[in-house]
Amino acid sequence: MYRIYDCLTTQHDIVLVLVAVLLGLGGIHTAFNLYARACIGRLRQRIAWLFLTGVVTGSAIWATHFIAMLAYDPIVPVGYDPVLTAVSLVIAIAATSVGFAIASFRGPHPVLSRVVGGLVVGLGISAMHFTGMSAMSVPGVISWHMDIVIAAILLGAVFGMISLWLAGSARTTREMLWGKTNLTIAVATMHFSAMGALIITPDPTMRVPAQLISSEYLSVGVAVIVTILIAIGFITAMVDRQLRAHVSNRMRILGDSAIEALVLTQNGRVIETNESFLRLVNAKQDEVNDSEFLSHWLTEVPQAFRNGSISYVETSLRTRDQVDVPVEVIRREIPADDFSDNTVIFGLRDLRERHAAEKHIRFLAEHDSLTQLLNRTTFNDRITEAIIEADETGVPLTVMCLDLDHFKELNDSFGHIAGDHALRELGERLSKLNSDNITIARVGGDEFVILLHHQNGPDVALASANARAVAQDILDCIAIPIFINNNHRAKLSGSIGIAHYPSDGEDAEAILFHADLAMYRVKQSGGNDTVFYSSEMDEEYRFKRQLSSNLRQAMENDTLEVHYQPQCHADSHEIMAFEALLRWNDPQMGNIPPSRFIPVAEETGLINQVGEWVLRKACQEAASWRKPLGIGVNLSAVQLQDLELPNLVRRIVEQSGLEPKRLELEVTETALIHNPARSMKILSDIKKLGVRIAMDDFGTGYSSLATLQNFPVDRIKIDQSFIAKLIGNDQAVAIVRAVINLSHDLNLSVIAEGVETDDQARFLTDNDCNEVQGYKYGYPRPINEYWHVVHPNSNDQDIAADLAKSANRVSGSEAR
């Protein structure tokens, strides 16, 4: 080691040594730029670039060697054999060309190719050096320290291998820096180690041939040759780089303008990407380049996509952070040409937003938009699947139907916005009860259904106990007050009907229907409770359905009847008006009281048709009377919500020819409060027609005084339940007396219903009740039985004429 150091410091011109090193660095820098270009492109272009790389690299190494030789002072005159000098240059060019060609070989073992290529370059440097040393001629004997020679050859070979191994394909600045540094070390260590091994023993007797090249001519030749070659290589590499950079920059701008991620690969390795891909994988360009695209980034693509049999696939992209991103990938191949190998372009689109949108669409399709609970369609699918499972396991299944009590009143009082808010709040509460065994859905309005799976085997008693516990949890959720505004909290309740499968129904439709029947039984009982289905409910339903069908036929066949009950003056007992009361004697079911068929008509929606039929019949009948008595007709709560009711009343009055002031429409307090604003408008419009309004069943509702104040009422009808208790009941006496006095104070007429005894009549007369109605004064009967009242002083001929006139009026009205 000391000999090498001594040789470098005492026998070399340091300035020329530095010149040699700088020249070598410049040449090696240019060489690796050319080598990077030689690693891409088609075979013919690669051969050309590899040859140019070898020429520049070999020339630079050869120049470095000979300038360093010129820096060496052997003390004796030195000459150089031209042939061997030229051979050393050829060796340098050939060895580096072959070495770089091997390193650039695209085989299954790229590292081995690079190591072998570096070994060839390193050994080529040694061969060039010792051939050039052999060209040196001096008046003396040249010998070598063989141990240093061997070490120099090994150093050159090792650093040569390391150089091309670390350089790789010279795609990045880092790779090129490692390659240049180690190749420079290989040249320097090999040369100066070998120079340290040189021993020159002067011998004046030895003659130096005259045709040798002098050191001065050699230095000029080296300078000219190397300058020209390095300049050619540098300019060529620079021009090529600029052209490729220009094209690459244009393509990058184009690629970065695309929303989709784009990746260009050659031989399966990434050579270029756009910014969208880098953002998608959260990586930098140098972390992506030269990676195996399919095996590194797309790990789950099918083989058919890998070999190009198919060009589209949906798969997962593995990001740098090891996150799988769903993507769709399209593959397009660019065939090889004279400038590049086969290039494959992959276009990738991030599917996360699409998957999220599809998930949201599926959620909307399966869930109710207001409450976020399952909707009817999804619930039907769930119950069908559950029934199949129940058939296989033998474990019963429970279905509950839930309806909120008085929810319509919440909407009417606070508006539909408040109602929607309440449903959202309830949906959030009920969703917390959802589990593997409990499925809750909203099927419309304020109606919900619950599907309950059991884990306790075929025991129906345990299933019922479990269902009751779940139902109570649901009722408790509903019972929590709901915030409406700063001044109001809505407190709701629910009615729940429960049915078991298979004991209460053989399919989904039957089980839901029976649970619904049980729920309606709860509603009829006041709500806020739970009822299990029983077969009696089915019988009642069938009865109501039959009743509804027969009622519809009775209307079509005009077999309904209107009976009339007198309303008399309390003192004179003179009949002042009649109340029209509907009666129905069905051929199959017999005499059916209004209390039985009117609720069914309201439930089935027939009440509007029935009410119109009664009103028209009563007005036509009353219009035919000689004596202009009043006629009272009851309106149901359903009719009172129909905005077309005033127009209907007007048409019937006009068509029948009845004076509007003779018609009195009777409404109940309960009917008025369902939608007070609408009821007020409807009654006000009817009042404008000249028709009178009576409040029926007064005192039995829960807003009596407010009703009298707000609604256009002409008369109060005291409910018969108070009249029946008049004798012997001080509270009833006080109530009736108070109602009569209140009516007088409000300038309203008052009539008492249900008067049956003399004592009741005497009390009402003594307390200034205007009019009375009840069995004491007349039963509801066909109008023919009161003919003498409505047609006073009529003989048989008059009666016949009146009957004919009445018939003509009825037929004419029906024709209209």
End-to-end CA distance of the chain: 132
Which of 95-104, 753-762, 807-816 is modeled with the greatest confidence? 753-762
- This prediction has a pTM of 0.54
Strand ranges inside 306-392, DSSP E: 312-318, 324-334, 343-350
What CATH number does the domain containing 414 carry? 3.30.70.270
Helix (H, G, I), strand (E, B), or coil: what is residue 6?
A: helix
pLDDT of the residue at 810? 41
The answer to whether position 542 is within a domain reads no
The domain in which residue 431 lies consists of: 367-533
pLDDT of the residue at 803? 47
Between CA 79 and CA 93 the distance in angstroms is 23
Question: pLDDT class for 676, splitting at 50, 70, 90?
Answer: confident
Contact 273, 286 (CB under 8 A): no
Q: Which of 14-23, 67-76, 114-123, 178-187 has the lowest mean pLDDT?
A: 67-76
Q: Are 688 and 805 in a shared domain?
A: yes
Between CA 175 and CA 25 the distance in angstroms is 16
- Give the number of other Cβ atoms within 10 Å of residue 344's Cβ: 17
H/E run at residue 591 = strand 590-592
Averaged pLDDT, 79-94: 78
Is 50 exceeded by the pLDDT of residue 811? Answer: no
H/E run at residue 442 = strand 438-444
Residues 6+ apart with CB under 8 A from 641: 674, 675, 678, 679, 682
Percent of the chain with pLDDT over 90: 25
Higher per-residue pLDDT: 519 or 186: 519
Q: Are 672 and 789 in a shared domain?
A: yes
Q: Which of 151-165, 225-239, 275-289 has the lowest mean pLDDT?
A: 225-239
Q: Are 314 and 424 in a shared domain?
A: no
The answer to whether position 539 is within a domain reads no
Is 60 exceeded by the pLDDT of residue 362? Answer: yes
808 dihedral zone (left: phi>0; alpha: psi -120 to 50; beta): alpha
The answer to whether position 144 is within a domain reads yes
Is 90 exceeded by the pLDDT of residue 250? Answer: no
The answer to whether position 540 is within a domain reads no
pLDDT of the residue at 224? 63
Is 60 exceeded by the pLDDT of residue 5? Answer: no
Q: Are 664 and 793 in a shared domain?
A: yes
What CATH number does the domain containing 699 carry? 3.20.20.450
Is 90 exceeded by the pLDDT of residue 487? Answer: no
Higher per-residue pLDDT: 692 or 229: 692
Q: Are 521 and 558 in a shared domain?
A: no
Q: Are 643 and 766 in a shared domain?
A: yes
Higher per-residue pLDDT: 701 or 345: 345
Structure tokens at 377: 């369609």
Residues 6+ apart with CB under 8 A from 451: 379, 382, 383, 386, 397, 398, 399, 438, 439, 440, 441
Q: Which of 143-157, 573-587, 677-691, 731-745 has the lowest mean pLDDT?
A: 143-157
pLDDT of the residue at 638? 86
Picking from 198, 214, 240, the residue at the C-terminal end of a domain is 240
Is 70 exceeded by the pLDDT of residue 206? Answer: no
Q: Is the peptide bond before 139 cis (omega within 30 degrees of 0)?
A: no
If 0-12 CB within 10 Å is exposed, 13-18 middle and 19+ buried, where does residue 336 land?
Answer: middle
The answer to whether position 728 is within a domain reads yes
Is 80 exceeded by the pLDDT of residue 402? Answer: yes
The answer to whether position 181 is within a domain reads yes
CA distance to 61, 733, 738, 767, per residue, from 750 (Å): 129, 16, 12, 11
Is 60 exceeded by the pLDDT of residue 816? Answer: no
Between CA 455 and CA 457 the distance in angstroms is 6
Longest dimension (CA), the chain: 183
The answer to whether position 252 is within a domain reads no
Q: Are 389 and 440 in a shared domain?
A: yes
pLDDT of the residue at 765? 92
Q: Are 606 and 574 in a shared domain?
A: yes
Percent of the chain with pLDDT over 70: 81
Number of domains in the chain: 4
Q: Are 381 and 500 in a shared domain?
A: yes
The answer to whether position 141 is within a domain reads yes
Averaged pLDDT, 477-498: 87
pLDDT of the residue at 669? 75
Q: Are 332 and 372 in a shared domain?
A: no
Picking from 212, 240, 268, the residue at the C-terminal end of a domain is 240
Higher per-residue pLDDT: 21 or 333: 333
Between CA 325 and CA 306 the distance in angstroms is 19
Is 90 exceeded by the pLDDT of residue 6? Answer: no
Q: Are 348 and 388 in a shared domain?
A: no
Find tokens 């018609």 and name the residue: 663
Is 90 exceeded by the pLDDT of residue 489? Answer: no
Each residue of 501-511: pLDDT tens digit?
Answer: 988 888 999 99
Q: Are 410 and 372 in a shared domain?
A: yes
Each residue of 40-71: pLDDT tens digit?
Answer: 666 666 777 777 777 777 777 777 776 776 65
What CATH number does the domain containing 332 carry? 3.30.450.20
pLDDT of the residue at 360? 86
Averaged pLDDT, 199-228: 58
Between CA 619 and CA 409 the distance in angstroms is 33
Each residue of 728-770: pLDDT tens digit?
Answer: 888 889 989 999 998 898 889 999 999 999 999 999 999 999 8
Instruction: Identify the DSSP state of 207.
Output: P
Is 70 exceeded by the pLDDT of residue 18? Answer: yes
277 dihedral zone (left: phi>0; alpha: psi -120 to 50; beta): alpha
Is 50 exceeded by the pLDDT of residue 211? Answer: no
Is 50 exceeded by the pLDDT of residue 274? Answer: yes
pLDDT of the residue at 196? 65
Contact 624, 809 (CB under 8 A): yes
Each residue of 627-664: pLDDT tens digit?
Answer: 999 999 999 888 888 889 999 999 999 999 999 999 99
